[in-house]
């Protein structure tokens, strides 16, 4: 009887605590709401009351669940055995999850335009991710258990890991000491055959006795190192292209320092992409080449092709765009950062010169997925004293690059903010009005279904939208997974799936395209290889030497430069 009374008293106290928590949640949300404008956003009273009642009901259910035993969490942050065997930790995790769900529901209930609501939700997600009980030693049952099992050594190692990361300037996502560019990443054999202040041009040694007459040029994103396309021999898109019989070249961007702080979008289009196209033609004697652009590299390639078309030139016979924006009408979560005030601030800060530091870019991209790319490593490295496993992709991800300020400022305004590339004549690059309708060549367009950097285009825009703004023959394929894992998906792994439409139709929206799409297991690379073969010309004997006297062996100096 006494026990029942104690539980009842505890339930009442818990309910009062949760009611107080509700008030605190409303106060916290209020601090996140914008205060500018004549009509500040708010949560309608009816919605707020409905969410309050739901919150109290779920809190009562949580208390009753605790009476029957520790609540079970399906969140992987709190799903380990130590959480299940620790009543206090399990309870705190359950309360945290309830509070987070409620705050997100409140954020979604705010009366405001879509962009304001998305910004509020993003702020709530960041706040909630940072306040998870798993992020502190006092609240993390797994870390506490490990400290007991190791007699405190895990805590000591965690401190050593923290000091190491403070010295290197970023949170370790992998054991970086196990990788070296040119030794066990970026190892496909080749040579640097041209360089200027912006890039080195690498030509790869043929792996087949005969090669296609029309060479292939790859343009990777300049916000990362090129070797995402050449990590290991078994997952290298570059090596795969060489094995298919293509005479393959890649742009290896220089990591900008102060000497490049005044470089513009025009410079990167004319002196890098167009220069690379002309150099490959000159080195191989080809009348036209095939080109591939990945992410921002694809946006640069698309812009360069429009500039060349405006000049009446057609040196590229076909183009491949991998997870590329040409139409920026739907930029996904990145849109929360972009408005006139932010763009103008960046123009004032960097538009006339300076560098956008690589670490700032890397941090911004990591916090788009804070639980996976930030707090997961804080917990593992510092609370549990673990050394992250060797992972080539995460080593590449931590190898950050700078950007010239004027380049970045132009890109920000003309793409993410004003979406000028798809407005004929609106953007002027290298003295030419950009009109993608003049880029009348065959194109292969790839988008990743779960891409959070370049959304596939479920809400318009995105990767799929390139099918609507380019006039030539087009093939579109959708791959499973995200921005990187979807692209770097070699056939030998036999992982994931891709989708194609057998009728080849490209209706106005992705939703319509999906209605006729069929799933195919495994990599999309063989489909691309078959498509590219049709645009590569006849086969000729593979050259016995590079197109020019090598400056140095691949991967070259530029890719080794640190931000």
Show the 3-state SS of 221-259.
Answer: CCCCCHHHHCCCHHHCHHHHHHHCCCCEEEEEECCCCHH
Q: Which of 460, 462, 471, 463 is nearest to 446 (CA)?
A: 463
Burial class (CB in 10 A: 0-12, 13-18, 19+), 504: exposed
Q: How confident is the model at residue 286 (pLDDT cuts 50, 70, 90)?
A: very high
Confidence tier at 52 by pLDDT (50, 70, 90)? confident
Among the listed ranges 4-8, 73-77, 453-457, which one has the minimum average pLDDT value?
4-8
Say whether pLDDT at 423 is over 80.
yes
Q: Sorting pLDDT into bands at 50, 70 and 90, what band is 2? A: very low
Helix intervals (H) in 412-500? 466-469
State the pLDDT at residue 153. 96
pLDDT above 50: residue 555: yes
The answer to which of 27-31, 394-398, 400-404, 544-548 has the lowest mean pLDDT is: 27-31
Of the two residues 57 and 409, the one the predictor is more confident about is 409
Spatial contact of 199 and 232, defined as CB atoms under 8 Å apart: no
Q: How confident is the model at residue 14 (pLDDT cuts 50, 70, 90)?
A: low
Count how many Cα atoms sit within 13 Å of the Cα of residue 394 in the half-sphere of its side chain: 18
Please name which of 288, 334, 325, 278 lies closest in space to residue 303, comparing C-alpha atoms. Answer: 325
pLDDT mean over 362-388? 90
- Alpha carbon distance 486, 528 (integer Å): 14
The fraction of the chain above a pLDDT of 90, given in percent, is: 71
* Both tokens assigned to 447: 């988008």
Peptide bond into 555 cis (omega under 30): yes
Which residues are annotated as catalytic?
A: 295
Q: Which CATH class is domain 190-357+402-560?
A: alpha beta
Q: How far apart are CA 240 and CA 335, in angstroms?
A: 35
* Torsion angle of the four alpha carbons 85, 86, 89, 90, in this order, in degrees rounded to the nearest 10: 40
DSSP assigned state of 334 = G
pLDDT tens, residue by residue, 391-415: 999 999 989 999 999 999 999 999 9
Residues 6+ apart with CB under 8 A from 466: 302, 321, 324, 326, 327, 443, 445
pLDDT confidence tier of residue 132, bands split at 50, 70 and 90: very high
Phi, psi of 250 (to 5 degrees): -140, 145
**pLDDT tens track for 180-226:** 999 999 999 999 999 999 999 999 999 999 999 999 999 999 999 99
Q: d(Cα 152, Cα 146) in Å, to the nearest integer?
A: 8
Question: Residue 1: what pLDDT?
Answer: 41
| Distant-in-sequence, close-in-space partners of 29: CB < 8 Å, separation ≥ 6 | 43, 103, 106, 107, 110, 120, 124
Query: What residue ranges do the domains of the chain occupy?
Result: 2-149, 190-357+402-560
Give the model's pLDDT for residue 36: 45
Q: Is 150 exposed, middle or buried (0-12, 13-18, 19+ CB in 10 A)?
A: middle
54: pLDDT strictly greater than 80: yes
Average pLDDT of every residue of the chain: 91
How does strand 443-448 pair with strand 316-322?
parallel
Q: Dihedral angle at the C-alpha atoms of 172, 177, 182, 186, nearest 10 degrees?
A: -30
Stretch 10-28: mean pLDDT:
62
CB neighbours of residue 48 within 10 Å: 16
Reply yes or no on whether the pLDDT at 436 is more than 50.
Answer: yes
Q: How confident is the model at residue 418 (pLDDT cuts 50, 70, 90)?
A: very high
| Percent of the chain predicted with pLDDT > 70 | 92
């Amino acid at each position: 009887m006494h026990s029942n009374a104690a539980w009842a008293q505890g339930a009442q106290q818990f309910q009062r605590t949760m009611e107080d928590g509700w008030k605190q949640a409303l106060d916290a949300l209020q601090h996140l709401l914008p205060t500018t404008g004549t009509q500040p956003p708010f949560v309608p009273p009816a919605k707020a009351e409905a969410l309050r009642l739901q919150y109290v009901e779920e809190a009562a259910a949580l208390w009753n669940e605790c009476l029957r035993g520790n609540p079970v969490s399906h969140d992987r942050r709190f799903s380990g055995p130590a959480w299940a065997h620790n009543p206090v930790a399990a309870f705190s995790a359950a309360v945290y999850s309830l509070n987070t769900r409620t705050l997100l529901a409140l954020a979604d209930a705010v009366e405001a335009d879509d962009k304001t609501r998305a910004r509020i939700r993003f702020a709530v997600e960041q706040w909630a991710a940072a306040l998870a009980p798993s992020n502190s030693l006092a609240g993390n049952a797994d870390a506490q258990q490990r400290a007991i099992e190791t007699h405190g050594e895990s805590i000591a190692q965690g401190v050593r890991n923290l000091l190491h990361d403070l010295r290197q300037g970023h949170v370790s996502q992998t054991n970086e000491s196990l990788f070296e560019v040119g030794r066990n990443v970026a190892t496909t054999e080749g040579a640097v055959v041209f360089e200027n202040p912006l890039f080195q041009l690498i030509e790869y040694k043929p792996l087949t006795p005969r090669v296609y007459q029309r060479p292939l040029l790859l343009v990777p994103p300049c916000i990362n190192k090129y070797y995402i396309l050449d990590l290991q021999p078994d997952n290298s898109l570059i090596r795969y292209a060489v094995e298919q019989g293509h005479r393959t070249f890649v742009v290896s961007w220089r990591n900008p320092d102060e000497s490049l702080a005044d470089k513009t979008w025009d410079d990167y289009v004319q002196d890098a992409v167009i220069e690379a196209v002309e150099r490959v033609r000159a080195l191989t004697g080809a009348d036209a080449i095939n080109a591939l652009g990945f992410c921002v590299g694809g946006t640069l390639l698309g812009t360069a092709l429009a500039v060349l078309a405006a000049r009446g030139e057609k040196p590229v016979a076909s183009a491949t765009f991998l997870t590329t924006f040409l139409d920026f009408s739907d930029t996904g979560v990145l849109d929360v950062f972009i408005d006139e005030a932010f763009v103008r601030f960046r123009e004032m800060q960097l538009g006339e010169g300076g560098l956008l530091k690589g670490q700032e870019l890397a941090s911004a991209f990591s916090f788009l997925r804070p639980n996976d790319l930030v707090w997961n490593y804080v917990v593992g490295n510092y609370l549990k004293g673990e050394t992250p496993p060797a992972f080539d992709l995460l080593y590449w991800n931590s190898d950050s690059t700078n950007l010239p300020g004027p380049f970045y400022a132009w890109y920000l305004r003309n793409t993410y903010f004003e979406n000028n590339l798809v407005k004929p004549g609106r953007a002027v690059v290298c003295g030419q009005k950009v009109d993608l309708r003049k880029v009348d060549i065959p194109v292969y367009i790839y988008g990743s279904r779960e891409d959070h950097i370049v959304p596939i285009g479920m809400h318009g825009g995105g990767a799929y939208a390139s099918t609507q703004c380019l006039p030539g023959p087009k093939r579109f394929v959708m791959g499973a997974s995200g921005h990187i894992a979807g692209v770097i998906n070699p056939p030998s792994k036999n992982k994931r799936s891709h989708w194609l439409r057998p009728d080849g139709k490209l209706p106005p929206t992705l939703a319509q395209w999906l209605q006729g799409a069929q799933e195919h297991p495994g990599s999309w690379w063989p489909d691309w290889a078959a498509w590219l073969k049709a645009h590569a010309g006849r086969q000729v004997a593979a050259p016995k030497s590079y197109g020019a006297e090598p400056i140095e062996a691949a991967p070259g100096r530029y890719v080794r430069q640190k931000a």
